Chains A and B, each alone.
Chain A
Amino acid sequence: MTPKHQRLHDTLGSVLGGRIASLSESRDYLTLVAKAGDYRSACQSLRDDPALRFDQLSDLCGVDYSTYGDRPQEGRRFAAVLHLLSLTHNWRLRLRVFCADDDFPILDSVIEIWPSVNWYEREAFDLFGIVFDGHPDLRRILTDYGFIGHPFRKDFPISGHLEMRYDPEQKRVIYQPVTIEPREIVPRIVREEQYGETGKP
């Protein structure tokens, strides 16, 4: 760990204290995991504490962990991952928070803390169905008007459920169930650790 990361690590520990579920470093990047209950207050401290001062939210994305590593999962299914940036101290942090309920994933909205999260929360709602409590305008954003389902969930097929075509008999565009066969040209393979010793010349 570089001295700068060590300093950030120690400051996070002293400021957030018990609100940290875990804090680790990998690939030159600190990852903080917070519990859903502490999420909003942790974000408030991350932005406002002068020693941390994460004044910009770069990114928020939803993640569906249901098929991670092709093995049965022990933890929760849905998570939101935030990438924070401090222009004052010039450091970055990744914040992960798991939704407590797999069937109805819900998190507090942080739009009051970082206004830039507005469309990111709408996107995570649209694509993963994570509800952000307190968001003033939680509409779908990327999918079509009247779309059903959350397309980035792992149980949503890549080809979708509906296809659209022009029907010459009815002389209008119609929706129908997809007719394409799902196919996988390159299978997904999880190899053992250090397979082929990647990264070593």
Chain B
Amino acid sequence: MAEIRNYTLNFGPQHPAAHGVLRLVLEMDGEVVQRADPHIGLLHRATEKLAETKTYLQSLPYMDRLDYISLMCNEHSYVLAVERLLGIEVPVRAQYIRVMFDEITRIMNHLFGLGAHGLDLGAMTVFLYCFREREDLLDAYEAVSGARMHAAYYRPGGVYRDLPEKMPLYIAQKSRNARAMGEMNANREGSLLDFLEDFTNRFPGYVDDYETLLTDNRIWKQRTVGIGVISPERAIAKGFSGPMLRGSGVEWDLRKKQPYEVYDRLDFEIPVGVNGDSYDRYLVRVEEMRQSNRIIRQCIDWLRRNPGPVICADHKIAPPSRVDMKSNMEDLIHHFKLFTEGMHVPEGEAYAVIEGPKGEFGVYFISDGANKPYRMKLRSPAYVHLSAMDELSRGHMLADAVTVISTLDIVFGDIDR
């Protein structure tokens, strides 16, 4: 009889189901995975080292480029860490704006994750539906910051500017008649908050659509139920957080357990799974979208009723307004010093975490009192989750390894940093 040996299979780095530049070396026994060895770092840009050569404000936009699916959540963790080092208070309105955009980001991330998850497992339609809704949220990003993705909207001390009073409109084209234009612009006539309120009214129906397509779908269940199972004890020991941990039935959410910003004033629930498999994690993520929708509605309501400042008044940290800068000598000096030398941060260290869409996203700063951080460390959830790839995919078929990568909800911008 011929000798049967294991063989190694190279998965990626250029593979559409690898969610980026993941090179996965799989040791296969027939079609069964015996060992998975992820090789990462192909997107390594040394963000942490670059931050050591830049002022605190200059490295903020780098945060958008880490987890490029949940952009503002990365910024949030960063600004929280800087604020903790500085010991400053943020205006309440800014906190509500941040929470609202965190939840918008969470929906965006889960829409992308769900769409890509579906695409990996052969459900093309979900992908198209998810991206349609995601476009509205990207428009909200654009309206508030000017950029569809890399927003750089959160700043130490608050947010860059207040919410806009009007949304950009679609302009006339030869190919669109007046009625089509009117329909496209129907929900854009008011302010950003009106636009978002319209979205939150429509969105639960959309989530129902996704669930109709997937939740009871026989193929979907065959591809996800019992794949990548992890027990609650093991999930904690492996450092899991976010939906990966909650999918195993551990009720742990930093928004509830260690509330930051204004989460303790908002009403929402934490979904948990039972079996800790890919299907339960899918259900957790879908329910999280519904809960985020609830939070956004509460924030819209509060923001409508409570105008106020959105960034702290200390011009050593936040720039003065353009009018003041042009007309007032002292403000001109503040502006100049802030954007040339940067802010000076007292000596010490701070670790700030938020419940990002993928899990616990943390930023750790060591400051020696200079205008640049001495050391920055980014704790990205996907990095830990991917390190459990071997354990999750062992004994599964090759096609299930794709499910496992997909259910981890990884992005290489923040794994490789």
Contact = CB atoms under 8 A, between A and B. Distances in A.
Contacts of A58: 239, 241, 353, 360, 362, 379
Given A58-B379, A186-B58, A186-B371, A199 B351 contact: no
A29 B377 contact: no
Interface in B51-78: 53-55, 58
Interface in A104-155: 114-119, 140-144, 151-152
A182 B417 CA distance: 22
Contacts of B353: 58
Contacts of A196: 316, 344
Contacts of B238: 115-116
A142 B257 contact: no
A90 B251 CA distance: 12
A81 interface: yes
Interface string B302-327: 00000000001110110000000000
Contact of A193 (B44, B236, B346, B386): B346
Nearest to B350: A27
B46 interface: yes
Contact of B41 (A69, A81, A144, A189): A144
A120 B381 CA distance: 12
Contacts, number: 139
Contacts of B236: 55-56, 87
B315 to A, nearest CB: 10
Contacts of A116: 237-239, 384, 387
A178 interface: no
B149 interface: no
B237 A56 contact: yes
A51 interface: no
B86 A151 contact: no
A188 B86 contact: no
A68 B350 contact: no
A52 B360 CA distance: 21
Contact of B416 (A26, A114, A142, A195): A142
Contacts of A57: 239
B53 A184 contact: yes
Given A58-B360, A68-B374, A114-B239, A200 B314 contact: yes
B338 to A, nearest CB: 10
A61 B49 contact: no
A114 B41 contact: no
A188 B372 contact: yes
A201 interface: yes
Interface residues on A, range: 35 or more
A23 interface: no
Contacts of B347: 69, 193
Nearest to B46: A151
Interface residues on B, range: 35 or more
A68 B241 CA distance: 33
Nearest to A192: B369
A190 interface: yes
A158 interface: yes
Contacts of B375: 61, 63-64
A48 B134 CA distance: 45
A158 B49 contact: yes
Interface in A164-201: 184, 186, 188-191, 193, 195-201
A55 B250 CA distance: 13
A152 B46 contact: yes
A198 B156 CA distance: 12
B252 A87 contact: yes
Interface in B35-54: 40-41, 44, 46, 48-50, 53-54
Given A27-B87, A119-B384, A188-B371, A59 B44 contact: no
Interface of A: 26-29, 31, 55-59, 61, 63-64, 68-70, 81, 83, 87, 90, 92, 94, 114-119, 140-144, 151-152, 158, 184, 186, 188-191, 193, 195-201
Given A115-B238, A144-B41, A196-B344, 6 more contacts: A55-B237, A142-B41, A152-B46, A190-B369, A191-B369, A193-B347
Q: Which 3 A-B residue pairs are closest in the complex by CB-CB distance?
A: A116-B239, A142-B41, A61-B377
18 contacts: A27-B87, A27-B348, A27-B350, A29-B351, A58-B353, A58-B362, A61-B364, A70-B368, A87-B252, A114-B239, A115-B237, A143-B41, A152-B48, A158-B50, A186-B340, A191-B344, A191-B369, A201-B313
Interface of B: 40-41, 44, 46, 48-50, 53-55, 58, 84-88, 236-239, 241, 250, 252, 257-258, 312-314, 316-317, 340-351, 353, 360, 362, 364, 366, 368-372, 374-375, 377, 379, 383-384, 386-387, 416-417
